[in-house]
Structure 1
Amino acid sequence: MDFDRRTLIAGSLAAGALSKGLITSAAAQTAPPGSPGALPPGLPQPTETIDLWPKGAPGMPRTPLTEKFDERSTDALITDRAVYGITRPRMAVFRPDRPNGAAVMITPGGGYKWIVVDKEGYEMARWLTARGFTAFVLFYRLPGDGWASGPDTPLADAQRAIRLIRHRARDFAIDPERVAAMGFSAGGHVCADLAARFSANVYAPVDAADKLSAKPLCAAPMYPVVSMDAAIAHAGSRGLLLGPSPTPALEAAHSPDRNVPADAPPHFLAHAEDDATVPVENTLRLRAALKARGVPVETHLFANGGHGFGLRRAIGKPAEVWPDLWRNWARTVGLG
């Protein structure tokens, strides 16, 4: 879907006005997670959020959850927040000054125990908006918290998020066809699962947005948790997603490499071979599955980088180039 010049200019003006406090966002609902008050100067923080579920998330746990966050950084100029117990899944919105018409939904990691806010969320969103992309950082529900949908809980939120972005495309001056997914570590599992099971029926439709496709234009699972095979799985993510003793069928159902459809979107994969937390075999299995189904895939393996390098931990390492590699690749698949 194409947008005319007037639409793009209007979207850009709205974004600029929002950033200057001239517009009170109608979309701002539940506050962004992990907002402790004083924050480092010069780092834009989101002022706009989109709640995923208008009447509350379905399948609330029997034991009430309380959302909380920890600030794990001891440096006053660097934040490293982690959010637990998400009860109101939502997207934090980052608008560029000059939208390029494309959007990226980001799913940060955290081993399905928590969701990191900064390192794999807001930092990446700022990088994207500086280059014209509208970024949506998704704070999804955690599968070990007792939600009725169990291991499908993060996928339900990811599907709903993509559909909402498309449904509100004009509000953000984006082309609804140019919506990508990017995820890190356990958030990489959410991303890869979405790219494999975008059409799976994992929640009951709630409004018109759910008539839209949840298939991203392209997907970038970064150093992702992929396989639930105990031999290479990240044990913490596997346990919280599937429980202590999953059946082989349950393992297969939630291993994206074993569920790749022929119409899966193009993938960009990156992993460090010295990753001691999520073995690189996870990415290799996903790549092999994509190749076997004829799905376009670009893969970058770095000798050094460890796990969770994101942006800040990649500085000074070969992996530092990965965002530019992703952007160049994104142009080739029509994201821009």
Structure 2
Amino acid sequence: MTVDRRALVARTLAMAACAITRSASGQTPPPTGLQALPPGLPQPAETLDLWPGHAPGQLLRPLVETVEERSRDALVNDRAVFGITRPRLAVFRPDRPNGAAVMITPGGGYRWIVVDKEGYEIGRWLAARGFTAFVLFYRLPGEGWSTGPDTPLADAQRAMRLIRHHARDYAIDPERVAAMGFSAGGHVCADLAARFAAPAYPASDAADRLSARPHSAAPIYPVVSMDAAIAHAGSRALLLGSNPTPRLEAAHSPDRMVPADAPPHFLCHAEDDEAVPVENTIRLRAALKARGIPVETHLFANGGHGFGLRRAIGKPVEVWPDLWRTWARTVGLA
């Protein structure tokens, strides 16, 4: 029997879509909001809830998940989400998986989580290049969780373990799961790379027996230090409160918690960043070098804060994703 190639491709795609729908059934939908979406930009249709039941810890007050659209351009989304009680991963599957995965932690100053600029846009870019991308919508530490400043770390640890637990479902190598974060999400990324072995939550299932150590870490213009002299004031206050002790500051400054088995790091920052001083990245680099951890660092004279992909266009800093991709090959990620 002769099989038409176009029909075969269509049938294969339909089967894949059914598989995705089945795997996504029963999961919390991704944050979208009520506004119309621009045409031609794929939105995630698949999510993976982190916790089988309620997330660990107690809430001091009820939360309602809310998505705000900050863009006035109908063709460009700039959404932010807060009030997350069901932390989850939004999945971007590549057409041709290269076997590697990247967990993305968007920023937002721990006030909210940026959906598009540091989440979905990065996920689409990675998936177009063969990486399976997971955008993590983590709980915010200033919203009244009893687990306090360890709340985002608990979600990040669980997310890394869950991705590895489901590696076969996503055609990825469980040893090649990297982390990438931006701004306050860069703090989540750097904190995970430093404290992947710290017990941030009680184990509950087989996934929690897996390692939370990322293959490699890429904190991009990250919040790192909780030292008031260089900290991002808003992130520091929402993470640690208004008057943290020196001990608490140190415990949540990844540059002061680097272990001997930390993963390789890729660091990127603009020196004219007025929100998160470049000294955050410089301190983290120095700490990694002191421990003998491989680290690649790129500092740009111009770029400001929060450049992501869209705000980097036309500036020297726009090369950062390709620099990361080239570096990723040198450390065996892809």
Distance 1:232 1:129, change over 3 A: same
Alignment of 1:12-27 (within 5 A): 16-17=13-14, 23-27=20-24
Partner of 1:130: 128
1:108 is displaced (CA, Å) by 0.0
Cα distance in 1 between the residues matched to 2:328 and 2:19: 33
Partner of 1:68: 66
SS in 2 for 1:101: coil
Partner of 1:316: 314
Cα distance in 1 between the residues matched to 2:129 and 2:135: 16
Whether 1:139 and 2:137 are equivalent positions in the alignment is yes
Residue identity matched to 2:23: A
1:20 is displaced (CA, Å) by 5.1
Q: Identity of paired residues, percent?
A: 79
1:19 is displaced (CA, Å) by 7.0
Partner of residue 179 from structure 1, selected from 177, 180, 202? 177
Partner of 1:294: 292
Cα distance in 2 between the residues matched to 1:157 and 1:13: 37
1:242 is displaced (CA, Å) by 0.2
Partner of residue 166 from structure 1, selected from 164, 167, 170? 164
Cα distance in 2 between the residues matched to 1:159 and 1:60: 18
1:128 is displaced (CA, Å) by 0.2
Distance 1:14 1:310, change over 3 A: farther
Distance 1:25 1:55, change over 3 A: same
Cα distance in 2 between the residues matched to 1:135 and 1:152: 24
- Does the 8 Å contact 2:110/2:140 carry over to 1? yes
Whether 1:266 and 2:264 are equivalent positions in the alignment is yes
Aligned alpha-carbon RMSD (Å)? 1.6
SS in 2 for 1:26: helix
Cα distance in 2 between the residues matched to 1:22 and 1:238: 42
Residue identity matched to 1:30: T
Q: Where in structure 1 do 4 or more consecutive aligned residues deviate above 3 Å?
A: 12-23
SS in 2 for 1:25: helix
SS in 1 for 2:187: helix
- TM-score normalized with structure 2 length: 0.95
Cα distance in 2 between the residues matched to 1:103 and 1:18: 22
Alignment of 1:178-217 (within 5 A): 178-217=176-215
1:56 is displaced (CA, Å) by 1.4
Cα distance in 1 between the residues matched to 2:59 and 2:93: 33
- Does the 8 Å contact 1:34/1:68 carry over to 2? no
1:256 is displaced (CA, Å) by 0.1
- Does the 8 Å contact 1:18/1:24 carry over to 2? no
Cα distance in 2 between the residues matched to 1:64 and 1:18: 40
Distance 1:293 1:16, change over 3 A: farther
Cα distance in 2 between the residues matched to 1:115 and 1:19: 30
- Does the 8 Å contact 1:15/1:96 carry over to 2? no
- Does the 8 Å contact 1:99/1:132 carry over to 2? yes
Aligned residues: 325
Distance 1:318 1:167, change over 3 A: same
- Does the 8 Å contact 1:267/1:297 carry over to 2? yes
Partner of 1:38: 36
1:13 is displaced (CA, Å) by 10
Report Cα offsets for 1:49-84 as digits up to 9, x if no partner. 001011111113121111101000000100000001
Residue identity matched to 1:82: A
Cα distance in 2 between the residues matched to 1:100 and 1:14: 23
- Does the 8 Å contact 1:186/1:225 carry over to 2? yes
Cα distance in 2 between the residues matched to 1:104 and 1:333: 14
- Does the 8 Å contact 2:250/2:256 carry over to 1? yes
Partner of 1:3: none
- Does the 8 Å contact 1:94/1:135 carry over to 2? yes
Cα distance in 2 between the residues matched to 1:199 and 1:103: 20
Partner of 2:50: 52
Distance 1:20 1:208, change over 3 A: closer
